[in-house]
Structure formats: structure tokens, C-alpha cells
Amino acid sequence: MKQKTILVTGGAGFIGSAVIRQFIEETNHIIVNIDCLTYAGNVSSLGSAKNHERHIFQQKNICNQQDMHDIFRQYQPNAIMHLAAESHVDRSIEGPSDFMQTNIMGTFSLLEVTRQYWSALDNAQQQAFRFHHISTDEVFGSLPTDGYFTETTPYSPNSPYSASKASSDHLVRAWHHTFGIPTLITNCSNNYGPYQFPEKLIPLMILNGMEGKKLPVYGQGNNIRDWLYVEDHAHALRLVLEKGQVGETYNIGGHNEKTNIEVVKLICQHLDDLIETPITKPHTQLIEYVQDRPGHDQRYAIDAQKIQKQLGWTPQETFESGLKKTVQWYLDNTPWWQTVLSGEYQRQRLGLATD
């Protein structure tokens, strides 16, 4: 495999770190990791890739065009994987400004730096270059009880987070059609797995359950999500970067539709089975139904036939196997999540927007 230099934004985040770990382990590529290390960024999530000679970390903000120009000039990337984003719906309800700045203006800034860099490449380099923008299925809004999101589903975002990601998707598409930048866009379903920041549903339920704390479930727990194991997602992203058709969008889903209450009860079952001396058993005793968040989409579900048929990707983990691995990982990696929880986030309820 010909060695490439790939610039990954948000590479200290949950999905970005999984992508980088795979690149370092499975390829000979040089990875330039750009992350400004906000609350959810953690270089320890890179594991052994953190100190690898082919991994270069730069603590920079993508909104700073001069810093980005300097990095492009120094490292001469062959491809960009843009994962840097504010990504939690509840936080976007409490404070949407950061989401507008990072997800919209940050993407605009990166596209402009990329445009100037790409325009100066020779023809062969331009043809080989890729800008891969990683997005979410939440841009499509909420589904009824049947049907699936496809690549042609109209956008209908319902939260500040999803609106900011929809905006960034449109920017990427526009820079491709207007300026010719060879872009790719992927929209994924809900990710889970090792190294996920504890404000998200699955790690929050695992950690609370381990400590005998309440397991807060929004509404009646009937909201449905399609769950995707993060390592499966990382493989799909790498495949799209390598083989995806320029200008195309690919949906990436796990084929695992579950209600939130189903997910929480499965976590409880794994905790019952895996903890030798639990504080509470059965862990379902800890479930507590709480006020739903504003604008909570009822159902997401991805139709991933396009990436399966055109690129040959299918998820390797079932939800049951991936969830068991995830629960075991949090049980085995207490120092990681204790360090994360020593910061500003202490598992408090976010997203009520009562101001």
C-alpha cells in the first residue's frame, strides 16, 4: 500500500480516535491529528497510537485558518477526514453557540484552507485528493414507525446540533459543486463502544449502573435508534475514503434498531452477568424515567444498502456482541473514565433548556 499522509480533525474524540487507531495498526499511512481538546477530546483514547512514530498530534482549532494553512503547508496531506464537531444534542440545547461556531464556521474555515491548498496541487495530486466529511443521520429529522433514511432523504433537522451538522453537509456539497474539491460525505447512525465520553446514553448507563446510581431514561424510553459499533464505523469510513465515488454521500448504519429502554435493560443484564459483587442486582431496579428533552426525535434508522452494494461494507458486530464488549471495556478501564470524569462533566442532566 502506497503511504499517504492523512489529516484527521477531531482525532482525539470518540470516532476520530478509533479511526486513527485502525490506521496506525492496519496501514503504513502517516496520520496528522488535529484536535483542540475541548471537554470530550482525550489523547489517551488513542491507545498505543498516541506515541507511534506515524502519528503526529497538533493541538489546534480548525476555526483558525492561519494555523490550518501552516499545518497543510508543513505536512502536505493527501486526504482530509473531517470529524471535528460538537456532537451532543443535550449540550446543543443548553448552549448552541459552540455548535454553530465549530460545526458550521469550523467546516467553512477548513474548506477554505483546503480549497487554497488543493488549487495549488498538480493535476494528478488534485485527482487523488479527498475531503471526507463525517456527519450524522440526525440531519434527516425523525422517522415514523416504518421506513428508513436513505442518501436522498430530505434534510429536516430538529435540534441545534443536527441543524449545525446539516449546515456543514451543505457547505461541503457546495464547495464540491462550486469549486471542484473532491469531497465525500457519510451520515452514520448512533455510535457506541470503547472510549465514548460518559454523557452519551450507553456509557452513562454503564458507569451509573456500576456504581449503583440511578439510570435516567427520557420519557418512557420508547425513542428508537439504530446502533453502530464504533470499530465497524471506523472501517466503513476508511473504505469510503479509499474507494468512495467523489461527490457522493454514503449512509452507514448498524442494522440494530432498539428502543432506549431496550438498550438500558440489555446493559443491566450485562452488568448483572459481568460484575462479581454488584452494588445493586438486578440493575433494572435503578431505572428511573425522567422528563423528556425538548424536540426529542422519535426514531432514526439507516438504509445502508448503497455502501453495502457499491463498496462491500457490512457491520461485523451485532448489537448484543458489541454491547457486551463495551460493558466489559468500561469495567476493565476504570482509570480512563475516572480521569475523564475528573473534569467539568459529572454525569449531571443536560439539555433541559429551562433558562
Catalytic residue among 86, 138, 169, 226: 138
End-to-end CA distance of the chain: 54
138 as an active site residue: the answer is yes
Which of 90, 137, 169, 199 is catalytic? The answer is 137
From the list 117, 148, 161, 229, the catalytic residue is 161
Q: Kindly state the DSSP code that residue 218 receives in the 8-state scheme.
A: E
Helix H or strand E encompassing 331: helix 319-332
CA distance 110 to 131: 10
Whether the Cβ atoms of residue 267 and residue 202 lie closer than 8 Å to each other:
yes
Cell of 113: 484552507
Q: Which helix (H) or strand (E) holds 131?
A: strand 130-136
Going from the C-alpha of 85 to that of each of 41, 94, 106, 165, the distances in angstroms are 10, 16, 8, 8
Q: Is 137 a catalytic site residue?
A: yes
**DSSP conformation class of 302:** B
Q: Give catalytic status of residue 257 as yes or no.
A: no
Q: Is 97 exposed, middle or buried (0-12, 13-18, 19+ CB in 10 A)?
A: exposed
Residue 122 C-alpha from the chain's centroid: 33
Reference 267, options 221, 201, 219; nearest CA is 201
Q: Which of the residues are catalytic? A: 137-138, 161
